[in-house]
Amino acid sequence: MKKLTFLTVILVLLGTSNYAWSQDLKLNDLEYFETQGVNVLVYNNLFTGGFNDEKNAGIELIHHGVRTAQGGAVRLSSTPEQWDLVPQIPMREVNRESNSIESILRYEDFDFESRVVVTPKGEGVEISVYLDNPVPEKLEGKAGFNLEFLPSQYWSKAYLMDGRLNRFPRYVVGETTTKPDSEKLKQFKGYETYDDRGTGEFIEPLPLETGNTLLLAPDESSRMVKITSQDADLMLFDGRVLAQNGWYVVRSLLPAGKTGKVLTWTVEPNAIKGWKREPNIGLSQVGYLPTQPKVSVIELDKNDTPLEKASIHKINENGTTTEVFSGDIKPWGDYYKYHYVEFDFTPVNTPGIYYIQYGDHKTNNFIIDKSVYENITDATSDIWIPIHMNHMFVKEGYRVWHGETFKEGYLQAPPNTDHFDLHDQGPTTDTEYEALELIPGLNVGGFFDAGDFDIETHSNISVVQNFVQTWESFKPLRDQTFVDQEARHVVLHRPDGTPDVLQFIEHGTLNLVAQAEIIGHMAQTLSNSVLHNYHHLGDAASLTDGLPYNPELGPYEVAADGQSSGVKDDMWAFTSRNPGLDLRAATMFAAASRALKGYNDDLSERALVQSKRLLKEATELLANQPEDDKARQWASIGDISTNLQLYISTGEQQYADKFQELLWPVLDRNVSFVILTALHGIPHMDASYKEKLRPYVVKYKEYIAELENDNPYGVPIGLGNWAGSGSIVNFGTTISFANQYFPEIIDADHAFKTTDWLYGNHPYHNYSLVATVGATRPKEVFYGNNRADFSFIPGNVAPGILFRKPDHFENYDDWPFLWGQNEGTIGGNTSYLIFGSAFKNLIKETK
């Protein structure tokens, strides 16, 4: 009777699901398996040696246009966390004769190697794991094959394990057990682990289900996957038990004492018959000026036939709609996975509310009006930036964003310390402080780097420089933030009589000057001492207890005098000297000293003193390094900006001469790399400088033209593991300044390519990448410190559309935890502040 009921359920579900497991997967020219609606990638993207498990690698499933599964590999835990060990992939071989892809997976720390072979089989793929030597004894019961599924695409959907019905939970559920910490594999060097009561135990999830056949989402044809294991139980885990960024994990343990083919899975993703991805109709969610170019880039499935026309419809005041424009669709061509066409509706210039109609597909509404760009930076400057002020209490209305952070200050990081955020302390401290000694005075000013709470010195240097450039170029007098440095108190939406940008410059400079004066040079970072705190989410003030760690006390014990505790949560200063970083700081200090003059004269003078000192010392240190040293080469580029800023601040000709001596050779090598710095020099140099720069601006115009041919959006699209909003913002800023000084060469219209991209005219979806006031459909989730709430901080700018090898772009708006596409940074958001200011100035000048 139970078997009959199960079969009845399956037949009902499959009868309504466009079930099509009859479409075989083929090995394509890009070295992955595909059929219409299904792509199976096999180690096209490898695990990194930096942050290890970034949920972007292994065997991956792109299911009806969305990457829904990843991480397929032999792993050493049931629900791997970010810093757990990942396998190296020393060999990946595509065998077209056998229609298979084979890879070696190796864990060097355990001298453990496996071989994974993936071959099409029927309606899916067969995944086989081979061992030449048995699983090492230490890994018995720990090594297994995992495949992870994206929770946001599966929660509330059904699953069946050997006929037993259940649903994927929207919020994490499931049972756990505790084990002695001694049984946990130390998968990261220096990994500190303890539970919230300091009992020396760790939590291990128990499976939600166990069996031999798992059917995922039979109630959703676009997500349905069947997994069958021939030789070992399948276990289903909810990885969010340990970490909010965990995925659902399907896992089978590798058997002990066996060699040869030890594990076989069949994975069958459903492919909807005749499926075509819906057109992605690009548009600016913020809207358009009546006079600007208006081109929608439409992203189409390559199996789709482009239509001949699209139309614009106006929403009238009585709620009716009227077609006001119909235009031809212009082909652009193929770009990676999809086909692109363009719809130019520039002639539509009457202010109003509109939408685009392409066949049966209609966009959300957008606005055409001369005021659409007026507020594009307000949320960033009024909300996102002040929320990220470190060492302050930050309040907005009834809400406290965070209390005063890190009152206990920062300890000297011990020598030879490897850090989980890719920092390290070298063999010496390079300071007068002993290991774990308190460095007094560093707990002032500065900005949280991003979705975490550390002060990345290189980012903070860029941030202050960005603020100064914004202040000096545009003098924004906007005052919507109350800042009291003495009380360490910030209140949003409360004017205090001082322009906010000036107070932001002061706040950033306070910390960086303190580093230079107290340490003697710039720290790499002021960050967490243990990984347990680094991935802290919530109020930053609760990350530490405000008391320095005392190893003589028990866990969570507080000393009788109340001045220390047994909580190992202290922040450390990583102080290995980097002359290139010192040189960048010298640039920033020179600029900050000008901006602060007349507002905070003491800090202004201190910044200028440190600028000159660091320039001198860093130059001497770099001169002792080999000429082919990469750090020296990068520093020489930074030296260009330093000398320009010092010349502007002091008027001393030696700095102007050095600036030009260094500038022209770099422009000859790569005009797009330093052209913006060169443009910033124009107001401070004589007329001959501008004329000498002119041919390089012509070269930059040629670079812009090359971008038009490179991709359908005409912007510099990044293809790395961090999406490209930053380079596109820099592109827009460069165009804005280049048009200001060379309008006869650089057309202002090119700047709209940046706004279009940021606000929705881009691949994958058409959401605004800026959590901004004014957008019809901004992204709704970002990788911020409130990401566990699936929320955002207003004004955040996402890195954007992330490229996954070999041909897939993506940006999740239902899963915030991938930083490469969703994490706003203090450097990126302050660069956006410059762009927004420069862009608004450009359109004001060109009206």
Give all strands (DSSP E) within 270-320, no chain letters: 280-281, 295-300, 309-315
Q: Mean pLDDT over residues 565-586, rounded?
A: 94
Q: Mean pLDDT over residues 773-790, rounded?
A: 93
pLDDT of 628: 64
pLDDT of 556: 85
Which tokens go with 343?
A: 């719809």
pLDDT of 187: 61
Task: Check whether 200 has a pLDDT greater than 90.
Answer: no
Question: pLDDT tens, 106-133?
Answer: 999 999 999 999 999 988 999 999 999 9
Task: Check whether 176 has a pLDDT greater than 90.
Answer: no
pLDDT of 198: 57
| Percent of the chain whose predicted confidence (pLDDT) is above 70 | 94
Go through the domains of the chain in sequence order and give each one's CATH number. Answer: 2-172+210-269 (2.70.98), 280-368 (2.60.40.10), 379-624 (no CATH)
| Percent of the chain whose predicted confidence (pLDDT) is above 90 | 84
Question: pLDDT tens, 692-721?
Answer: 999 999 999 999 999 999 999 999 999 998
Q: How far apart are the first and last CA of the chain?
A: 77
List the single range of 58-62, 164-168, 433-437, 630-634 with lowest mean pLDDT. 630-634
H or E element in which residue 359 lies: none
Which tokens go with 672?
A: 């797009």
Asked if 537 and 788 count as a contact pair (C-beta separation under 8 A), the reply is yes
pLDDT of 676: 96
Which tokens go with 729?
A: 């913002």
512 by Cβ neighbours in 10 Å (0-12 / 13-18 / 19+) ranks as buried
Strands 525-528 and 455-456: antiparallel
Distances from the Cα of 749 to the Cαs of 339, 458, 714, 735, 843, in angstroms?
Answer: 25, 33, 12, 9, 9
Task: Check whether 197 has a pLDDT greater than 80.
Answer: no
Question: CA 723 to CA 132: how far, in whole Å?
Answer: 39
Asked if 463 and 447 count as a contact pair (C-beta separation under 8 A), the reply is yes
Nearest to 503 by CA among 522, 482, 523: 482
| CA pseudo-torsion sign 418, 422, 428, 434 | negative
* 221 or 534, which is more confident: 221
pLDDT of 316: 97
Cβ contacts of 687 within 8 Å, gap of 6 or more: none
- pLDDT grade, residue 630 (50/70/90)? low
Cβ contacts of 694 within 8 Å, gap of 6 or more: 742, 745
Asked if 805 and 46 count as a contact pair (C-beta separation under 8 A), the reply is no
Phi/psi region, residue 241 (left: phi>0; alpha: psi -120 to 50; beta: rest), is alpha
Question: CA 791 to CA 785: how far, in whole Å?
Answer: 9
Which tokens go with 525?
A: 């970072």
- pLDDT grade, residue 419 (50/70/90)? confident
Task: Check whether 467 has a pLDDT greater than 60.
Answer: yes
Cβ contacts of 752 within 8 Å, gap of 6 or more: 292, 293
Q: Mean pLDDT over residues 134-163, rounded?
A: 97
pLDDT of 632: 58
Asked if 642 and 618 count as a contact pair (C-beta separation under 8 A), the reply is no
Q: What does residue 185 show for φ and ψ, rounded to 5 degrees? A: -65, 125
Give all strands (DSSP E) within 388-480, no chain letters: 393-396, 399-402, 410-412, 417-418, 424-425, 438-439, 455-456
Question: CA 141 to CA 144: how far, in whole Å?
Answer: 8
Phi/psi region, residue 236 (left: phi>0; alpha: psi -120 to 50; beta: rest), is beta
Question: pLDDT tens, 638-688?
Answer: 789 989 999 999 999 999 999 999 999 999 999 998 999 999 999 999 999
Q: Mean pLDDT over residues 44-49, rounded?
A: 90
Question: pLDDT tens, 488-512?
Answer: 999 999 999 999 999 999 999 999 9
Question: CA 17 to CA 23: how far, in whole Å?
Answer: 15
The three-state secondary structure class of 634 is helix
pLDDT of 715: 98
Asked if 781 and 790 count as a contact pair (C-beta separation under 8 A), the reply is yes
Q: Identity (one letter) of the amino acid at 384?
A: W
- pLDDT grade, residue 582 (50/70/90)? very high
> In the β-sheet with 481-484, what is the strand arrangement from edge to edge?
399-402, 393-396, 489-492, 481-484
* 782 or 847, which is more confident: 782
- pLDDT grade, residue 12 (50/70/90)? very low
Nearest to 527 by CA among 431, 452, 437: 452
Asked if 806 and 32 count as a contact pair (C-beta separation under 8 A), the reply is yes
The three-state secondary structure class of 624 is coil
Q: Mean pLDDT over residues 803-826, rounded?
A: 96
Percent helix, percent strand, percent coil in the chain, to nearest 5: 30, 25, 45
Q: Mean pLDDT over residues 532-543, rounded?
A: 88
Is the bond leading into 806 cis (omega within 30 degrees of zero)?
A: yes
* 660 or 191, which is more confident: 660
Q: Mean pLDDT over residues 597-623, rounded?
A: 95
Nearest to 243 by CA among 422, 87, 83: 83
Q: Mean pLDDT over residues 146-167, rounded?
A: 97
Asked if 381 and 495 count as a contact pair (C-beta separation under 8 A), the reply is no
Question: CA 331 to CA 337: how far, in whole Å?
Answer: 16
Asked if 206 and 174 count as a contact pair (C-beta separation under 8 A), the reply is yes
Nearest to 337 by CA among 304, 362, 310, 306: 304
> pTM of this prediction?
0.94
Mean residue pLDDT across the chain: 93
Q: What does residue 291 show for φ and ψ, rounded to 5 degrees? A: -95, -5
* 83 or 736, which is more confident: 736
- pLDDT grade, residue 292 (50/70/90)? very high
Which tokens go with 17?
A: 């699901």
Question: pLDDT tens, 440-455?
Answer: 999 999 999 998 999 9
Nearest to 235 by CA among 185, 164, 161, 170: 161
Is the bond leading into 414 cis (omega within 30 degrees of zero)?
A: no
Question: CA 598 to CA 53: how far, in whole Å?
Answer: 49
Task: Check whether 193 has a pLDDT greater than 80.
Answer: no
Q: Mean pLDDT over residues 408-434, rounded?
A: 92
The highest-confidence range among 186-195, 418-427, 474-483, by mean pLDDT, is 474-483
- Which residues does residue 60 pair with via DSSP β-bridges, in sequence order? 41
Question: CA 629 to CA 607: how far, in whole Å?
Answer: 29
Q: What does residue 231 show for φ and ψ, rounded to 5 degrees? A: -125, 0
pLDDT of 256: 98
Question: pLDDT tens, 340-379?
Answer: 999 999 999 999 999 999 999 999 999 999 999 999 999 9
Question: CA 799 to CA 824: how far, in whole Å?
Answer: 7
The three-state secondary structure class of 788 is helix
pLDDT of 35: 96
Question: CA 559 to CA 393: how far, in whole Å?
Answer: 26
Question: pLDDT tens, 815-830?
Answer: 999 999 999 999 999 9
Mark out the alpha helices in 401-523 (DSSP H runs).
457-474, 500-514
The three-state secondary structure class of 379 is helix
- Which residues does residue 216 pair with via DSSP β-bridges, in sequence order? 159, 225
Question: CA 121 to CA 139: how far, in whole Å?
Answer: 30
pLDDT of 782: 96
The three-state secondary structure class of 227 is strand
